[in-house]
Structure 1
Amino acid sequence: MSKNEKSLNWSNWALKIGKCFPLEQLHPDTLVWLQRPETKSVLVACSGGPDSVAVLCALWAHAKKLHIKLIVGHYNHRWRASKSDEDAHFVATMADDLGCEFIGGVRPEDQPACTETSARVLRMEFLRTEARLHNCQCIIFGHQLDDILELQLQRLVRGVGSEGLAAPRSVHIFTVGPAHLRPLLNLRAALIRDSLNAIDVPTCEDATNLDTTIARNGLRHTIIPQLSQTVDRDASVGAARSRQLLEEESSALDTLAREQFATAYSGADYLDRVGLRSAPRALTRRALVAWLASHDLVECLSASGLEQLLDVVVSSKTKHSMSAGCAFIKISAEQIRIASALVCDSTNPIKNSALTAEDSVHLPNRARLIRSAVIVDSQLRDLIFSGAIDPNCEAYLALDHDTSLQVRGWLPGDRFTPIGAPGSKKLKDWFIDRQIPKMERNQLPVVTTAHKGIVWVPGLPPAEESRITNQTIQALRLTYHTSDPI
């Protein structure tokens, strides 16, 4: 049955899918989470493919018994032109027929998504933002058992530990933000697809899923079948068991690390190096990762950088320093501390200043914010639309040349809507999403206008309201020049 037919009755299909996948067949760990009294609203990520359609319909069929409200989220990467738009329309129609609120996101023209990784980042940012805005306690994904080995192989070639190989988890809880649930993780892809085909449920078929030049597809269609044939056993089943064992062992290590290094998990200013040196390397690594994450610095170190830090910590060196983004990690014989590479004097905050035409503002962190007027010709417009402008240091705003701009520091409660965002949220939440370190946030200038509020903060795209369009002729260019690290 074509997905373009008008006579779709999703409520009937959903009830049939609910019978195909009764509650007791869904992953038990996800049921525990869904049946909690505090779980009232969930966001279901739905691409329109068989797995996400199955999980949406199954949960819809059991929603009354679970006492949950379903919200459907779909992100359009715009990779396949009109086909991507058709998928979005398909999911929106399905949600409407089921009586579920639909939230659609679209990749902005100036936001590139040229790889699987960048596309996934955009989608996850959209889903997490919408889950928070709609007070959803969790996000539902359609991952199934056969996805496990694909992800494990991708991560194995990158080099990860038990934490990385334990993904995707049936329930993944985060310190900040909604949990991720995968109710179909114990079910085979073939079972899901056969169940939908048996009752003629339409789904979206992404032609790129057959493109074996894409790593994930090459693993699915070539490598994994060959592996199973070579070892004469179902490799996906073995991988699922390994994932479960690795999750249990990873959780045990995490518990031990939390008990032995509680300060690392509480965001302490420093760590006791003596204790770290005497512990097993696996526990020391976890403590360091947790501590860096609490200071929003874990993304600033590569895997090799983290191992280099670990080598120094357990070595006999009595003094060492290494950079991590805007900060330095200072290691002495007794302690490990973080020192900012910026001048972070809390007694010298950013003062409210006017940023006048062709002028600049000098900031307490020795950085400088410069304003200039530009005419948006076709060459500049193409550059902006290409996504090549680095929001960490430059922004183009669709504002008249005589617009009055003010510069101030970040204030609690500040809200902002950058280009491509589905809505506004607290500036603090944007800082967290973009991994802007805590010690840098108070030093970033917040640029405002009298009528439009916040129009730019370095590290984030400009405000949606000030987006450059095909009709923009006049614009303001802001550049943020930081001092050299000391």
Structure 2
Amino acid sequence: MLSFPEKIQRTLVVHKMVKPGDHLVVAVSGGPDSMALLHALVRLRSSLDLRLTVAHLDHGTRGGASAADAEFVRQTAAGLGIPVVIERRDVPGEREKIGMSFQEAARTVRLRFLESVRERVSADTVALAHTVDDQAETVLINLLRGGGPRGLSGMRPVRDNLIRPLINCTRSEAVNFLQEEGIEYRQDETNRDPRYLRNRIRMELIPHLEQEYNPQARQALHQTARILQWEEDHLNRETEDWFERLGRVEPLSHHVVLECEALKALSPALQARLVRLALERGCGTLRRFTFGHILNVLELLEEGKSGKVVSLPGHWAAEREVNSLKIYKIPEPKSGIINGDNPLSGEGLALQVPGVTAVDALGVRISIEVEQGVHQGAAKPNQALLDFDKTGASLRIRYWRPGDRFQPLGMQGTKKLKDYFKDQKIPRAERKRMTVLTTAQDHIIWVVEGRISELYRISDQTRKTLNIRVLE
């Protein structure tokens, strides 16, 4: 039978968590799990050729107990001859800022702190002390919340810069190791506070399951998570392959587009996974999205849904177009946007020609240069190349208005901007913020970051080029 340190060594090797010469930041709260992890890694550091740094975050709660935990960790690290980084963060204050529960806020703040320590000391990874018990609790929490395979797969042994060397060890094994070695540890009384769901699952639900249904319930839940991790990895690869075939991310607008007909031909499982991947690609996170949001987006695949829009968290939206499903960010209005106080309303904002004008309402700058002769090279999406002698030097930027018309590049006649936006498949939610550049006579020369006017394009007869660029 493997000893506790040997069991951890096996996990480190099987999951390729470390390599010789690695520098690990060990997250140590002072509790039994993290103290067992720290002392086991101390036993293994010579044979595995590891360097260790201890990191402890004082959450600024529990009064003197919190400070005592920090001092305990400091003394422990000093006794082991290991460098230590200890900081205090205002978790209650951060909770109000980011709008999460206390435990979610504490987790977010703790992970940010650990990553900052890793970067500061140039370490390779951060070692966390999550055990089989933590995994079982996580699986049950996600099950009760209605989580899918991703949630039920629990915590990964390795994720980004995080490793979990105790993921195959139980909490009782950690405590037994400490007791056998005569190693002291701290107890956090908040871990027994029944107001927190995880604590109730730990103290009530799991013991009930073990007593009434399966004495090995923790191990069974841990095994379920491991199986689902394998299956998740396989299905994620399948989803990525399908996304390459029928999805795309538009690099400038960051819109994510899926082909409707191809999507409809897939199984509901793949449809849901592709929509979830599209949301993740567009929004960068799935934290605020639920399965209900995914179902709402999938409803747009039904007949007769063309033009329909579904609102999503974080000012995102999904819109069904004729043959595609588009996920996009709805621009958040800034103060004064689209009202009488905004300089882009009415006649608009005068631009410096040549020069750079800050357009605070849009969070951009407009750079305008006057170049001799015809500009060499094609215009980029954030750029317009026009004939200066035709536009003149008095230019303005404003919001478009109902009834506005212009002659798009390459067209013979004029077109209403409303129809132009429809042709370009610009989502309705974005149209109200579209801007145009105009001459002193209020003639539209450019739909900003869209089409220029045919009447003001450069030609072989152009003597001066007006080079307009939108800068972030």
TM-score (norm 2): 0.63
Q: 1:330 aligns with which of 319, 325, 332?
A: 319
Of 201, 212, 219 in structure 2, the residue corresponding to residue 237 of structure 1 is 219
Residue of structure 1 equivalent to 2:331: 342
Residue pair 1:34, 1:66 contacting (<8 A) in 2 also: no
Pair 1:304-2:292 in alignment: yes
Q: What does 1:247-286 correspond to in 2, within 5 Å? A: 247-262=229-244, 267-268=249-250, 269=255, 270-286=257-273
- For residue 319 of structure 1, report the CA deviation from its aligned partner: 3.0
- 130, 134, 144: which one pairs with 1:157? 144
Cα pair distance change 1:226/1:299, threshold 3 Å: closer
**8 Å CA contact retained: 2:153, 2:226:** yes
Whether the aligned pair in 1 keeps the contact of 2:319 and 2:327 (CA below 8 Å) is yes
Instruction: Say whether the 8 Å CA contact 2:26–2:53 is kept in structure 1.
Output: yes
Give the one of 228, 237, 241 matched to 1:246: 228
Aligned amino acid, residue 332 of structure 1: E
One-letter code aligned to 2:325: I
Identity among equivalent positions (%) equals 25
The residue number in structure 1 matching 2:166 is 184
Q: SS in structure 1 opposite 2:283?
A: coil
Give the letter aligned to residue 318 of structure 2: I
Q: Which has the higher contact order (CA 8 A, sep 6+)?
A: 1
Instruction: Indicate how the Cα distance of structure 1 residues 158 and 30 shifts in structure 2: closer, same or farther if over 3 A, else same.
Output: farther
State the secondary structure of the residue aligned to 2:310.
strand
2:84 to 70, 81, 102: 102
**Take 1:284 and 1:69, find their aligned partners in 2: how far apart are those partners?**
46
Match of 2:197 among 215, 231, 252: 215
From 72, 78, 94, give the equivalent of 1:111: 94
Give runs of aligned pairs for residues 376-387 of structure 1, distance below 5 A.
Answer: none
- Counterparts in 2 of 1:132 and 1:283: CA distance versus 1, 3 Å: farther
Post-superposition Cα deviations, 1:58-105, rounded to whole Å, max 9, x if no partner, equal 122212332332222211112211100111111122223333332223
**Structure 2 Cα separation of the partners of residues 327 and 186 of structure 1:** 40
The Cα of 1:213 is off from its aligned counterpart by: 3.4
Q: 1:121: which partner in 2?
A: 108
Q: Is the Cα–Cα contact under 8 Å of residues 194 and 200 in structure 2 kept in the other structure?
A: yes
1:136 and 2:134 matched: no
CA contact (8 A) 1:73 1:104 kept: yes
Task: List per-residue Cα deviations over 1:161-192 (Å, max 9, x = no partner).
Answer: 1111111222224xxxx2x2111111121121
Compute the displacement of 1:251 (Å): 1.2
- Using the TM superposition, give the Cα deviation of residue 50 of structure 1 relative to its aligned residue in structure 2, in angstroms: 0.8
Report the aligned-residue RMSD: 3.2
CA contact (8 A) 1:30 1:183 kept: no
Quickly say closer, same or farther: Cα 1:36–1:364, change in 2 above 3 A: same
Point out the structure with max Rg over C-alpha.
Answer: 2
8 Å CA contact 1:46–1:72 kept in 2: the answer is: yes
CA displacement at 1:27 relative to structure 2: 5.2
CA spacing shift, 1:264–1:133, aligned 2, 3 Å: farther
**Matches of 2:247 and 2:165, distance apart in 1:** 29
Deviations 1:317-371 (A, max 9, x none): 33322233234322223222244422899xx9xx787xxxxxxx842259xxxxx
Match of 2:456?
Answer: none
Q: d(CA) in 1 for partners of 2:303 and 2:179?
A: 60
Deviations 1:238-273, CA, capped at 9 Å, x for gaps: 111111111111111112111222378985542223
Q: CA deviation at 1:57?
A: 1.6
TM-score by length of 1: 0.61
Asked if 2 retains the 8 angstrom alpha-carbon contact of 1:264 and 1:290, the reply is no
Q: Distance in 1 between matches of 2:63 and 2:14?
A: 37
Q: Given residue 330 of structure 1, which amino acid in structure 2 is its aligned partner? A: E
For 1:263 and 1:295, the matched residues in 2 are separated by: 17
Aligned to 2:207: 225
Q: Which residue is equivalent to 2:308?
A: 320
**Is the 8 Å Cα contact of residues 9 and 44 (structure 2) preserved in structure 1?**
no
> Where in structure 2 are there 5+ consecutive unaligned residues?
334-343, 345-350, 365-429, 434-472
Matches within 5 A, 1:421-460: none
